[in-house]
Amino acid sequence: MDDSAVVTAFLGGEERAFSELVERYQTRLLNFIYRTIGDREKAEDLVQEVFIRVYRHLHRFDRSKKFSTWAYTIASNLAKNELRNRSRNPLVLMQAVQKNWQDDDRPLQFEDTTSRPDDMYRKRHLREIVEESVAKLPEHHRHVFVLRELEGKSYEEIAEITDCNLGTVKSRLNRARNSFAEIVAPYME
């Protein structure tokens, strides 16, 4: 059963169809938002908000388009708003970072070579480096980068989700890939 059929079933009054949509998209949307904003707890709140909006406005959804694109557009807008709010209030960002660190997720100091006794530890460290490198990308580039590399969206879908033209998407993706590679490269050698 494809998304379109599930949406039709829900609009026909079948409440269970909505649970099916949640089941299909909760993890994907959570990872997309998490990689975009970098705060797990907030990402989960935003995914909840995405589904609330889907529930409320599904009757207005243009069914000639893909449901996944629509859902990602809502998620993308919420993530953008969250980042905008943070940039206006740096205290919120600081609190989010501190909260993550308190959860035993404190980033390791890369310079401290003695703190890498085994492969597992190194892998964890590399993972953190990669996550930090994504966070360092400019917001617009990161958005396109995550949609393409993590979610596997096509250029056309990304253009629709981010409300940009195709040329802008290609250009941003190319820059994001090069910047990301430049940041990560020293740690890969």
Partner 1 sequence: MDCREFHKTHSAFIDDTLSGIELVGVQRHIAECEECAKHDAIVRRSLLLFRNLPRIEPSPDFSERLNIRIRELKNAEVPPVFHHSRVFAATIAVSSALMLGYIGSSLREVDSSRDIVFPPVVASIPEQELVPITTPAPALVASVPAGLPIWTAALYAELAPIHFASADRQLTQSGR
Q: Give 3 or 131: the residue with its C-beta nearer to partner 1.
A: 131
Q: Quick one: which of 48, 62, 118, 156 contacts partner 1 (CB under 8 A)? A: 48
The DSSP secondary-structure symbol of 137 reads S
Establish if 19 lies at the interface with partner 1 (CB under 8 A).
Answer: yes
Alpha carbon 150 to chain centroid, angstroms: 8
Q: Residues in contact with partner 1, total (CB under 8 A)?
A: 35
Structure tokens at 28: 């994907």
Region binding partner 1 by CB under 8 A among candidate stretches 34-42, 80-88, 89-97, 103-111? 34-42
Region binding partner 1 by CB under 8 A among candidate stretches 44-52, 57-65, 66-74, 86-94? 44-52
CA distance 156 to 56: 26
Q: What would the DSSP string read from start to end of 13-70?
A: T-THHHHHHHHHHHHHHHHHHHHHH--HHHHHHHHHHHHHHHHHHGGGS-TTS-HHHH
Region binding partner 1 by CB under 8 A among candidate stretches 59-67, 70-78, 113-121, 178-186? 178-186
Q: Where are the beta strands (DSSP E) in the chain?
A: none
Structure tokens at 139: 């917001």
Establish if 51 lies at the interface with partner 1 (CB under 8 A).
Answer: yes
Interface residues with partner 1 (CB under 8 A)? 18-19, 22, 26-27, 30-31, 34-35, 40, 44, 47-48, 51-52, 55-56, 126-127, 130-131, 133-134, 149-150, 170, 173-174, 177-178, 180-181, 184-185, 188
